[in-house]
A and B are shown apart, each in its own frame.
Chain A
Amino acid sequence: MSAHRRITDPVEAMAQRVAERVVDLVLNVVDLNALIQRIDLNALMAQVDVNALLARVDVSALLEQVDVNAVIARVDTDALLDKVDINAVLTKIDMDVLVEQTDLGAVIARSSGGVASEALDAARSGAVGLDQTIDRWVQRALRRKEPAPVAPRAPLNGEAAPAAPPPNAPPARPSEAPTEAATPPEPSEAPASEATTAPEPSEAPASEATT
């Protein structure tokens, strides 16, 4: 050990003990709570660059220390699910996108993708498109502004037909049909195709639409 170290080491040790003692004395004297209350934390936090601070945090290393399974095991999933309004969640699901972009669509396509059903769907859709085109023409020609009345909802294939109301019950008017059925078509969603092309008058003369 050099002569210089023999002098400085004891001095440093003494300085350390003095500093600790001074700090103890100061802390005993100072009311830290009162001191903290005088600090403007908002102003202090405003000076802190949180992003820079977070950038220095190794999140991966942090997460590696977390036992996620243990955390999940402590969660009461039943209580959690009880608080979730599943119906509200389901209403937010875009079924069209779901069917189009997931394997659910493939399942539907394979289970119901017969040529006959495809042709039937196309024929019905095309007929409805022409119906609406002709109807728009007629409404325009007759200068009607108000929308057409809503039809009563007919039972779908396989559904039981609605029972006739009792004789003393007020008659159900078309306006009482389900609101969903009254939703007007959304032309913006329907790509133009031949089926929406305006038909020639000879295609569907009024006197021949007979059923």
Chain B
Amino acid sequence: MSPRPATESVTAQGNYAGSVSRFLAYAIDLFASTAVYTLALAAISYVVQIVTGEQVSWNRQNILVVVLYLAWEFFYFGYSWAVSGRTFGMAMLGVRVVRADGAAAEPRRGVVRALVFPLSFLLFGLGFLGILVQRERRALHDLIAGTAVVYSWDARAARLRFLAREGELTRIPPDG
């Protein structure tokens, strides 16, 4: 099956990013950040074992592991939003955090967004309902931080690439 042409996506640029794009971006971020954290812990264990000769094991019951993980997650998301308005996962899905009025989000908004982000979870996930029902698809943490998430990928170029590939596949070579 050929991939879906980006016709709709061309015009989706300039719209608020929807729930699926945002969820997928978050899933990628969660996987990536957790993988990096796990690798970091493994590296620390390896170094400690070499230096002291003692084996260090990390588990989820260890409060230090949990606190460090939360701090790392806050850094991962907060730093990404503050510096570029998007995380690795958001870059993959082509969405970006901007200020509610469309200007680039200031670093402090990125930090605030990362700080209040857990609130949307703590309210039984109701904080995320805004992505579905709110007119500008803003979750609770978006409303508090004064941000919005929009599509930012060059869908027009993607469509031209798609058409070029389709044309390349269907075109009969001159000598054939």
Contact = CB atoms under 8 A, between A and B. Distances in A.
Contacts of A171: 101
**Chain A: number of interface residues, binned into ranges:** 35 or more
A151 B14 contact: yes
A126 B155 CA distance: 12
B161 A209 contact: no
A142 B16 contact: no
B24 to A, nearest CB: 6
A113 B167 CA distance: 12
Contacts, number: 261
A81 to B, nearest CB: 27
Contacts of A210: 22-23, 26, 117, 120-121, 128, 139
A109 interface: yes
Nearest to A172: B101
B93 A127 contact: yes
B70 interface: no
Interface in B146-176: 148-155, 157-168, 171
A105 to B, nearest CB: 4
Interface residues of B, number: 78
A152 B101 contact: yes
Nearest to B113: A211
B45 interface: no
Interface string B130-143: 01110110010000
Contact of B168 (A106, A127, A194): A106
A155 to B, nearest CB: 7
Given A118-B165, A122-B4, A193-B1, A132 B18 contact: yes
Interface of B: 1-9, 11-26, 29, 85, 87, 89-96, 98-99, 101-104, 106, 117, 120-121, 124-126, 128-129, 131-133, 135-136, 139, 148-155, 157-168, 171
- Leading 6 A-B pairs by shortest Cβ distance: A152-B102, A181-B14, A131-B18, A207-B125, A122-B3, A161-B104
